[in-house]
Structure 1
Amino acid sequence: MAGDPKPISAAARHALEQELADLRDERRLVAGTLQDATDVGDQADQADQLRRADQLDRLDRRIRDITERLRQAEAAGPPSTDVVGVGSTVTVRFPDGVQETLQIGEAAEAFDQNLVTSDSPLGRALLGRHAGDSVHFDTPDGPSSAEVVSIGDVQSA
């Protein structure tokens, strides 16, 4: 992860901490199934051992990535409430009058319907904006726009 440390929202921090705990539990289970190399029998056993060792490597990489991301987020401090950035909570109003509160994140989570990635068209348009700014972005249905209502805590409609 290059550049300055980026803050993350409380919800994103919680999700990463939960994923980290789950990965550590999974790692303990996988590590417990690995056998001493001298105890490995036939080729099928050896192939199973290699698969588990690969799985352990994958888990270790993800654990390192999450740990580093959480460390960077801690160094960055809380998300700004002055300008939209990664980790910001942003309330926007669309041309039809609908207001939505969104999180600007680094990666999409299937379960989080209010997360907008920083590299999506809307996410890119919102980065660096202030409350009151209008943004324009492309959608699959054509050009669209929104107004930044607030940055930070959820605003009541």
Structure 2
Amino acid sequence: MSDNKQVILTYEGVKKIEEELEYLKTVKRKEVTQKIKVAVSYGDLSENSEYDEAKNEQAFVEGRIATLENMLKNAKVIDDEDIKTDSVSIGCVVKVKDLEFDEELEFTIVGSAEADPMQMKISNEAPIGRGLMGKRVGDKVEIQVPDGVSTYEILEIRRH
């Protein structure tokens, strides 16, 4: 991740990142430090897999902390009042009808840092999110997805 790439977040996303950062700094760092101490007590570090594993975990935790801090430093927070409902934008909830399967779906459009497809939070940079951006209620949108083309009709746009 570039050191100064702007990260678009909702307030919910900022809170989630802050909570993960706090956990990593206060709980996880101490756990990893303790694992390293225990591994060092086993003696010879050159053949100590517990030590190597703990050091790798430490590097991962520190890297994640740096990534999260950078995301917060470069965050552009979308305020609920700034979310437009006349067209699809970041932060809004979009109800669509999948015309192929005749089913209704609801997506929350978020920045890439908050994307969670299992929670129907899709990135504005993902194919469906990008395809819906700027569209209005009543629009029919054909979106290229990995297994073909999906066609959606936009039924509703609202704030979360």
Between Structure 1 and Structure 2, which shows a larger proportion of strand residues? 2
Give the number of aligned pairs: 148
Q: How does 1:1-157 map to 2 (within 5 A)?
A: 1-2=1-2, 5-24=6-25, 25-35=27-37, 41-42=43-44, 46-73=48-75, 76-78=76-78, 80-82=82-84, 84-85=88-89, 87-94=90-97, 95=99, 96=102, 98=104, 100-107=106-113, 108-109=115-116, 112-127=118-133, 129-132=134-137, 134-139=140-145, 140=147, 142-147=149-154, 149-150=156-157, 153-154=159-160
Q: Is the 8 A contact 2:10 2:78 kept in 1?
A: yes
Cα deviation per residue 1:19-47 (whole Å; 9 max; x = unaligned)?
Answer: 22232211111113323998551358633
CA distance in 1: counterparts of 2:142 and 2:103, whole angstroms? 16
Q: Is the 8 A contact 1:130 1:148 kept in 2?
A: no
Q: Which runs of 5+ in 2 are unaligned?
A: none
TM-score, with normalisation over the residues of structure 2? 0.69
| Structure 1 runs of 4+ with >4 Å offset | 36-40
Q: Return the offset for 1:66.
A: 0.8
Q: Is the 8 A contact 1:90 1:148 kept in 2?
A: no
User: CA RMSD of the aligned region, Å?
Assistant: 3.3
TM-score, with normalisation over the residues of structure 1? 0.70
Q: Which moved more, 1:6-15 or 1:76-85?
A: 76-85
Q: Return the offset for 1:9.
A: 1.5
